[in-house]
Amino acid sequence: MKHLAGAVIAALMGSAAMAADPGVTDTEIRIGDVNIMTGPASFIGRAVSIGSKIAADEINAAGGVNGRKITIVTEDDGYIPARSFQALTKLLEVDEIFALNGTSGTANVLAMMPLIEENNLPTIVSTAPNELVYDPVRPSVFTLGASYSDAFYAQLKYIHENTQPENPVYGLIRQDDDFGLAVEHGYERAVKDFGVKDGGIVRFKKGTSNFAAEMIQMRAAGVNVLANGGIISGAANILSEARKLGMPLESAQVWSEDMPLSVNLAAQAGYDYYVGDYVALTGDDYDAFVEKAKQYVTADDIAAMNRYTLVTYAALHAMAEAMGQCGQDLTRACTVENLRKLKDFEVGGIMAPISFDNDKQLSGTAIAVYQLDAASKTFTRKTDFADY
């Protein structure tokens, strides 16, 4: 009788726990995605959604998470933090999501943080791996991705050790915001560690198109190794000015510059620039991923894929792994606990294995350096994934 009562109480507690955590039924798990689906940065949001779709379809085709199919519920925030908060409120209260796997930009995820913490929402931040997200650590938040600082350090290290330009003078051009500051940290660390000449740091406002004066300053300083902190059109315009001024350059770039649309803009300047990224841009594993993706998304989606597709795909697989380890009694607390224990989780070689079992609940920090061939618009991998 005692055993029976215990079993009944345990069963009631179990169902109460399940009832307490929304977004899970016997057949479905709803995962939220707050994303940039409109506005100038919506190509990122689309790529993120494609990554989620590929991962969800693949997991569902293999039987789901302990028999439950994953459903992705996407809300657009237009890259506006206030709208991110509204979007997550809607996902929590109307769609009743179980976890979150799309978090827009840094300011956006920070805007959503009170809701994430209040609901103990299992969350993987994969598109804004900023220090502000993982320091201080929030119990249910896991971050996937390297810092801009390490990405630039990795590239400058490669340039320093392998290309050895004559009379090297390093220079940095960067945005006057938190992102630019992170780039500057990597640059300063590199200049200090390698003992190279610092030609100077030039800061510019976000949205600047005309970099003529900045690049004239760089040329006057004799800069021939450039840490280019411009993004997309900005990065391309910086290289275009450098070309006009006849500057021989080894250029380190932000990882956004490995996206096809960025390459199309910047390759015109003719520089075989570098990028440091925590996802694979080339190789057998990347090719295998693309082949797999073709089973689940359209040709248009394949064309719109970029690095954000890969990182979001990896993040959803990590989330599914943590949920799967909970068995049938799937709760947010259990998922968070399992994410915290996740170690060396393989994601098909498209990035280094994922491990959140560290103080910062941070993974994917290993960076590979790639070099563009501007003529063919293709990248060659120059280093393995490594932490810097």
Partner 1 sequence: MDLFLLFVSTGLVIGASYGLIAMGFALVYKATGVVNFAHGELVMLTAYVAFSLTQAFDLSFIPLMLVTIPISMLIGLALERIFIRPMLGEPVFSIVMVTIGLAVILRGVTMMIWGPDPHNLTAGVTTRVIMIGHLPFYAAQLMSIAALAICTALAWAFLRFSRIGIAMRAVAAHETAALLVGISVKRIHAIAWALSAALAAVAGVLFAMNFKLAPDLWFQGLKSFPAVILGGLDAILGSAMAGLIIGLIENLSQGYIGQGLRETSGFIVIIVVLMVRPYGLFGDKDIERV
Give the C-alpha distances (Å, rounded to integers) separating 195 from 10, 167, 168, 229, 282: 64, 12, 11, 21, 32
Size of the site for partner 1 (CB under 8 A): 34
CA–CA separation, 375 vs 334, rounded Å? 50
User: Segment contacting partner 1 (CB under 8 A): 16-24, 68-76, 159-167, 263-271?
Assistant: 263-271
Cβ burial of 127 (10 Å; 0-12, 13-18, 19+) is buried
Nearest C-alpha neighbor of 274 from the set 248, 246, 255, 261 = 255
Q: Which is nearer to partner 1, 41 or 110 (CB)?
A: 41
Q: Which is nearer to partner 1, 71 or 233 (CB)?
A: 233
Residue 237 binding partner 1, by CB under 8 A = yes
Q: Which is nearer to partner 1, 67 or 246 (CB)?
A: 246
Residue 268 binding partner 1, by CB under 8 A = yes
Site for partner 1 in 37-56 (CB under 8 A): 38-43
CA–CA separation, 22 vs 28, rounded Å? 11
DSSP 65: B
Q: Could you say which of 216, 290, 357, 377 contacts partner 1 (CB under 8 A)?
A: 216
Q: Which is nearer to partner 1, 177 or 272 (CB)?
A: 177
User: Segment contacting partner 1 (CB under 8 A): 144-152, 232-240, 293-301, 309-317?
Assistant: 232-240
CB–CB of 262/234 below 8 Å? no
Residue 376 binding partner 1, by CB under 8 A = no
Q: Could you say which of 202, 293, 305, 319 contacts partner 1 (CB under 8 A)?
A: 202
Q: Which is nearer to partner 1, 8 or 216 (CB)?
A: 216
Q: Which residues pair with 381 in a beta bridge?
A: 370
User: Segment contacting partner 1 (CB under 8 A): 96-104, 145-153, 214-222, 328-336?
Assistant: 214-222
Residue 9 binding partner 1, by CB under 8 A = no
Q: Which residues pair with 68 in a beta bridge?
A: 65
Residue 245 binding partner 1, by CB under 8 A = yes
Q: Would you call 141 helix, strand, or coil by DSSP?
A: strand
**DSSP H/E element including 142:** strand 141-144
Q: Could you say which of 243, 292, 340, 381 contacts partner 1 (CB under 8 A)?
A: 243
Q: Would you call 108 helix, strand, or coil by DSSP?
A: helix
Nearest C-alpha neighbor of 362 from the set 144, 159, 173 = 144
Where do contacts with partner 1 occur on this chain (CB under 8 A)? 38-43, 176, 202-205, 207-210, 212-214, 216-217, 220, 232-233, 236-237, 240, 243-246, 261, 264-265, 268
